Every structure is written in C-alpha cells, then in structure tokens.
Amino acid sequence: MSDKKGIAILGSTGSIGTQALEVIAAYPNYFDLQVITAGKNADLLIEQALKFHPNSVVIGDEMQYTKVKEALWDHDIHVYCGEEALCQVVESTEVHTVLTALVGYAGLKPTIHAINAGKTIALANKETLVVAGELITRLAKEKGVNIYPVDSEHSAIFQCIVGEFHNPIEKIYLTASGGPFRGYSAEQLQGVSLEQALKHPNWSMGAKITIDSASLMNKGLEVIEAKWLFGLKAEQIDVIVHPQSIVHSLVQFEDGSMKAQMGLPDMKLPIQFALTYPNRFKTDFQRFNFMDYPQLTFESPDRKVFKNLDLAYRAMHENGIIACSLNAANEVAVDAFLNKKISFIEIAQLNETVVNSFTNILNPNYEDYVISDFNARKKAIELIGN
Ligand code: NDP
Ligand code: MG
C-alpha cells in the first residue's frame, strides 16, 4: 500500500468534484487518487480518468457504461456502473478518505458504506446529514470515523474550534450571502425567473445548490447539517446575512469570545482543509485585501419571505423524519423549477405542503428514511402534476 493518502471522489464531474481534482493535482506527493465517479457526464469522467489514472471509475448512468469501458480498456482502470458500484468502490482498502461531492439523497447510501468500512469522510454532500444526521453521526461514532466538513460555513466553524475541542460552543453564526434576491418582498419574489435565480452573487456552484441558495433552503439545510456535525441544539445556531461572503462563519464560546474564519470565497480552500487536516498546505490562492472590502456588513435573514429557512428550523426542532421529507420535497421542487414546471415561490410552498402531509417518526431507522424519502417525493410529484 502506498504511503500517500488514497482518495475517492464521489461526484468528480461536478463543481466540488472538479475543484477537488485541482487540489489533488497540486500535491501529487501527498494524494493518491483511487476512485472517481460521475452521474451522467461520461466524457468528462473519461477525460479525468485519462489525466489522473485512478484505480477505479464509476459511471452512475448504466447506459453509458460501454462508452466509458471502451475509452479506458487499455489503461488499467477498473470501470463500473450503477448505484451498487458506488457503495463498493468506497470500501477499497486503498481508500483512506471519501469526498462525498455528489448531489442530493443519492449520497446517503455510499456514505453509509464508507463509514462502515472505516473511511474518513470529507463531506460536501450536506443532504446526507440533513436526511439522516442521527443515523450517520451515531454510525460514525460507533466506527470511530471522522467527518470533516467541506461546506464553507462548516469548515469555518471547524477551523475555529481546532484546538478548542475541550471548550463547549455557546453558539454559532452561519453566514449567508442572501443570494440574488436579498431584500426582495414576497411580491417581488413572485416574478423572478430561472435565469435570475441561477445567478449567484458570490459563488459558482452546481444548479441545485445555486437555487437552494436563492431560496435560502441551502442555509436551512446547513443549519441542520451544523446541528449534527457539531452536536448543537437548534437554539445554538443562528443565521446572519453577510452579502460580501468574506466571513465564512463564527463561533461564540462560553466566555463570550467569538472566532471567525475569513477569506475570499473559494471552495478549494475548505476542500483542501478537509483533505489535509490537521495540516495546512501552502497555496497560491488569491489573498484577501482589506482595502477591496472596506465594509463588511451584516443583516438579519427575512424568514417570513424566505419560508424555507423557517421550515428547516421547524424540522430541526421537531427532529425525527421531517428533515428527510423536507429534503425530498425540495429536491423534487428544485428539479421542477429548473425544468420551468413551477415558479420560484412555489418551491417553498410545495415544501411546506409536503412536510405538513406526514406525521413525524421519531428515532427513525434506515428503512424509515428510505420510505419517507420515497413518500415525500411521490407526494411532491403528485402536487406538481404532469
Ligand atoms: P454538481 O451538480 O455540480 O455536481 C454533482 C455531482 O454528482 C456530479 O459529478 C454529478 O455527476 C454527480 N451526481 C449527480 N446525481 C448523481 C446520482 N444520482 N448518482 C451518482 N452521481 C450523481 O453539484 P455541486 O458540486 O455543486 O454540489 C455537490 C454537493 O456539494 C451538494 O450536496 C452541494 O450541496 C454540496 N456543496 C457544494 C458547494 C459548491 O460550491 N458547489 C458548496 C458547498 C456544498 P454528472 O454531472 O456526471 O451527472
Ligand atoms: Mg455553504
């Protein structure tokens, strides 16, 4: 076995996945890329495989298996397809850390497999913790597995508590850019277009998280993600809108002291920290200049207009299966919005209707999550119609 760190990237063709590959390419003596996986983008997966020579690749879309297999047949790279293969490749003995950079509920099962196999998790796929935070954190504890956050806000919190693990957190503040519709009234939100929603002011990301950022669902998902990652109560997690996206989040300790982590918005930094922790490697990333940002501003989020954030707090307070139903409804709603089947404000309306349609299940097991996800999706699809 090599003494380099074996990495598996689930979702290497996405926004986080491609940036993770840039990080890995920068430190060839430290990382050993073992596995990359894609959903549908076979061409990019092939290009990445030819450049990085991983041990295995997985294409989610089974229709594209032959194409990938033929392109890589004489390169000594194993090619697999489908959901089960994702769960198996993460278990390889050569893999030390699994970066979960696929989007949505699809991340849950491979993450469970990776934890069961004792792999360190670099978690970008926040939906996994939103859906099944209770199960995932229990399992990680049982297996002695560390979950390092990739999400910039959670990486910020993590960076603030390194060296403070014995000091309880009083409160955390997750910062939010506010997205393209910051300051909009409920009436103004009615008329917004898909193109406007896809234009995030500060970050370039995949389509789903970009829409979630515009609707503040992303911040709602992050609040739930933080609860599980840092073992906090709902009352200990606050959201503050910070349009410049320079302060990535803050921790307040029990003596009243606050620590913030700052920097220009660039996901490569939190990706790298999750992969190299406890080390910090030198980078040539652009450095922050105070004079470019003479004013850093903060304001309260409007939870009456952006109802998704309220819904997420409710899910967090009530525990059980609600966050799983909320996530499923939201995945269907965002997909429908991206396909112009519903309007922007209908995303939050649909989420609320679906969440209200089910009674909560406390202390859910894996089957409960699978069934609740299925039922919530079905309900959301029925509500959207055709
Ligand atoms: P993208 O949509 O850009 O990429 C998603 C990746 O997952 C692609 O490689 C895609 O493959 C793959 N994929 C999608 N669906 C499936 C599936 N059903 N089975 C297997 N693979 C699948 O998303 P992002 O990179 O933006 O986000 C990834 C995760 O990271 C999300 O959970 C997001 O919330 C989180 N995150 C992202 C941030 C960002 O800056 N982008 C910041 C913080 C968190 P393909 O394209 O080949 O179909
Ligand atoms: Mg984030």
CA distance 44 to 40: 9
Question: Are residues 139 and 11 both part of a single domain?
Answer: yes
Distance, CA of 332 to CA of 90 (rounded, Å): 27
Compute CA distances 119 → 60, 111, 126, 160, 232, whole Å: 21, 9, 17, 24, 24
Let me know whether 184 and 142 are in one domain: no
Atom of ligand 1 nearest to the CA of 221: 34
Same domain flag for 60 and 196: no
Q: Which DSSP state fits 232?
A: -
- Tell which atom from ligand 1 comes closest to the C-alpha of 86: 20
CA 372 vs CA 223, 333, 352, 358: distances in Å: 21, 16, 15, 9
Mark whether 309 and 348 lie in a shared domain.
Answer: no
The bound ligand whose nearest atom lies closest to the alpha carbon of 16 is: 1
**Ligand 1 pocket, residue 332 CB under 6 Å:** no
Verify that 181 and 306 share a domain, yes or no: yes
Mutate to test the pocket of ligand 1, among 15, 212, 217, 273 (most ligand atoms within 8 A of CB): 15
In a domain, 106, yes or no: yes
Question: Is 206 close to ligand 1, i.e. is its CB under 6 Å away?
Answer: yes
Q: Does residue 285 form part of some domain?
A: no
Residue nearest to ligand 1 atom 42, measured at CA: 151
Q: Does ligand 1 have an atom closer than 6 angstroms to the CB of 17?
A: yes
284 falls within a domain: no
Whole-number pLDDT of residue 1 = 64
Longest dimension (CA), the chain: 61
CA distance linking residue 260 with residue 252, whole number of Å: 9
Report whether 8 contacts 97 (CB < 8 A).
Answer: yes
- Using 50 as the pLDDT threshold, list the residues of the chain that sit under it: none
Residue nearest (by alpha carbon) to ligand 1 atom 9: 11
Q: Residues whose CB is under 5 A from ligand 2 (ion)?
A: 151-153
Q: How many CB atoms lie within 10 A of CB 291?
A: 5
The token duo for 314 is: 């409710």
Classify residue 288: in a domain, yes or no: no
CA–CA–CA angle 67, 68, 73 (5° rounding)? 105
**CATH classification of the domain holding 81:** 3.40.50.720
| 8 A C-beta contact, residue 244 and residue 296 | yes
Residue nearest to atom 20 of ligand 1 (CA): 39
Q: Which one of 205, 266, 338 would you pick to mutate in the ligand 1 pocket, going by the greatest count of ligand atoms within 8 A of its CB?
A: 205
User: 250 lies in a domain?
Assistant: yes
230 within a domain of the structure (yes/no): yes
Distance 367 CA to ligand 2 centre (A): 28
User: In this predicted structure, what is the pLDDT of residue 111?
Assistant: 98
Is 39 close to ligand 1, i.e. is its CB under 6 Å away? Answer: yes
Q: 275 in a domain, yes or no?
A: no
Give me the domain span that covers residue 251: 154-265+298-313
> Which residue lies with its CA nearest to atom 40 of ligand 1?
205
Q: Ligand 1 in contact with 154 (CB < 6 A)? A: no
203 lines ligand 1 (CB under 6 A): yes
Size (the chain), residues: 386
How many angstroms is it from 78 CA to the middle of ligand 2?
A: 33
pLDDT at 346: 98
My answer on whether 179 and 252 are in the same domain is yes
Whether residue 272 is contained in a domain is answered as no
Give the model confidence (pLDDT) of 303-361 as tens digits.
Answer: 999 999 999 999 999 999 999 999 999 999 999 999 999 999 999 999 999 999 999 99
Q: Is the distance from the beta carbon of residue 57 to the nearest atom of ligand 1 less than 6 Å?
A: no
To which H or E segment does residue 259 belong? strand 258-262
State whether 224 and 348 are in the same domain.
no
pLDDT value of position 203:
84
CA 382/CA 380 separation, integer angstroms:
5
Same domain, 160 and 28: no
CA–CA distance, 267 with 53 (Å, rounded to integer): 24
Query: Is 77:51 a contact under the CB 8 Å cutoff?
Result: no
- Is there a contact between 25 and 49 (Cβ–Cβ < 8 Å)? no
169 shares its domain with 302: yes
Tell whether the torsion through CA atoms of 279, 172, 250 and 152 is positive or negative: positive
* Closest ligand to residue 105's CA: 1
77 and 19 assigned to the same domain: yes
Q: Which of 280, 313, 346 is the last residue of a domain?
A: 313
Number of domains, the chain: 3
Same-domain status, 70 and 116: yes
Give me the helices (H) in the chain, please.
15-26, 42-52, 65-72, 83-89, 108-116, 126-143, 152-161, 186-190, 194-197, 207-214, 217-230, 268-276, 307-318, 322-338, 344-356, 366-384
Which ligand minimizes its atom distance to the CA of 11? 1
Tell me, yes or no, whether 23 and 82 share the same domain.
yes
- pLDDT in the model for residue 275: 98
179 CB near ligand 1 (under 6 Å)? no
Using the 3D structure, point to which of 257, 282, 313 is the last residue of a domain: 313
| Nearest-angstrom CA–CA distance, 332 and 324 | 13
